């Protein structure tokens, strides 16, 4: 018996029918062609001629496009049974996967929040570590022998913040340290721009050392 279903499925593949609709349609048309084929054989036709005439009924490609009912096409929200093969259309499968993912997330909100928190912390930690490595290793301060660069900060008890963070040093103290320096190759100070210009004199440019240790002051006070 000729493989009518295979022949039909080739012709209707472009209709994007649901698997069930495609199976039903190919079965129905295959029965029709088989009946026609047997009728031709009974009428005395040779097998090859009977096959040719029966298969010729599928030749109208334009009419084949009218074979599907709208409801038989793959809908936007089709329920896909477990184990069903993909449709072969990447976009249709992607849409189904996304809708499935959203439905599953709505069912397990706590799990979704936990995943989001984990991802957030992971991304944050990675960003922090990368920033550190990028600054220290990949883009170090543009001075020679930067590994010999040290930072000095004030440590007066009265000026220590509650958090114990290092405190800035005044410009006058910086000048004293610079004048009495016997340890470092050179000294430099820096400050951050402030809206009040009266602190302008506290801004110092970094000084480059000559192979010895360098001292970098924070003179923002």
Partner 1 sequence: MSQPPDHEWKKGSAELLVLSLLEDQARHGYDISKLIQARSAGALRFHVTSLYPLLYRLEERGLVAGRWVEKAEQRRRRYYSLTQAGRKVLKAQRQSWLDFVGAIGRVTGIEHA
Residues that bind partner 1 in the complex, under the rule CB under 8 A: 24-25, 27-29, 31-33, 35-36, 57-60, 63-64, 66-71
To the nearest whole angstrom, how small is the minimum distance from the Cβ of residue 22 to partner 1?
Answer: 13
Which residue number, 15 or 143, has a Cβ lying nearer to partner 1?
15
**Which run of H or E residues covers position 131?**
helix 109-133
To the nearest whole angstrom, how small is the minimum distance from the Cβ of residue 101 to partner 1?
Answer: 33
Which residue number, 64 or 166, has a Cβ lying nearer to partner 1?
64
To the nearest whole angstrom, how small is the minimum distance from the Cβ of residue 126 to partner 1?
Answer: 55
CA–CA distance, 38 with 59 (Å, rounded to integer): 19
Strand residue runs (E) in the chain? 149-152, 186-190, 214-218
To the nearest whole angstrom, how small is the minimum distance from the Cβ of residue 38 to partner 1?
Answer: 10
Which residue number, 68 or 173, has a Cβ lying nearer to partner 1?
68
Which residue number, 67 or 80, has a Cβ lying nearer to partner 1?
67
Query: For residues 6-34, b (16+ Cβ closer than 10 Å) or e, as one string?
Result: ebbbebbeebbbbeebbeebbeebbeebe
Rounded to 10°, the helix 90-107/109-133 angle is 110
To the nearest whole angstrom, how small is the minimum distance from the Cβ of residue 52 to partner 1?
Answer: 14
Which residue number, 15 or 207, has a Cβ lying nearer to partner 1?
15
Contact (CB, 8 A) for 7 and 34: no
Non-local CB neighbours of 220 within 8 Å, separated by 6+ positions? 168, 191, 192, 194, 199, 202
């Amino acid at each position: 018996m000729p493989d009518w279903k295979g022949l039909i499925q080739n012709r209707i593949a472009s209709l994007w029918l649901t698997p069930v609709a495609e199976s039903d349609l190919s079965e129905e048309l295959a029965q029709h062609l088989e009946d026609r084929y047997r009728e031709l054989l009974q009428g005395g036709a040779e097998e090859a001629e009977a096959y040719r005439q029966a298969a010729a009924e599928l030749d109208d490609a334009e009419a084949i496009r009218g074979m599907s009912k709208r409801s038989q096409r793959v809908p936007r929200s089709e329920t896909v049974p477990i184990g069903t093969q993909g449709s072969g259309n990447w976009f249709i499968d992607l849409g189904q996967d996304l809708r499935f993912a959203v439905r599953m997330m709505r069912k397990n909100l706590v799990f979704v929040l936990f995943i989001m928190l984990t991802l957030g912390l992971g991304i944050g930690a990675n960003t922090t570590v990368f920033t550190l490595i990028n600054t220290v290793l990949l883009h170090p301060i543009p001075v020679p022998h930067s590994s010999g660069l040290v930072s000095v900060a004030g440590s007066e008890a009265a000026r220590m913040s509650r958090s114990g963070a290092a405190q800035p040093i005044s410009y006058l103290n910086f000048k004293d340290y610079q004048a009495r320096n016997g340890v470092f190759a050179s000294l430099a100070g820096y400050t951050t721009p402030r809206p009040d210009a009266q602190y302008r004199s506290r801004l110092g440019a970094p000084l480059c050392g000559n192979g010895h240790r360098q001292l970098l002051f924070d003179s923002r006070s």
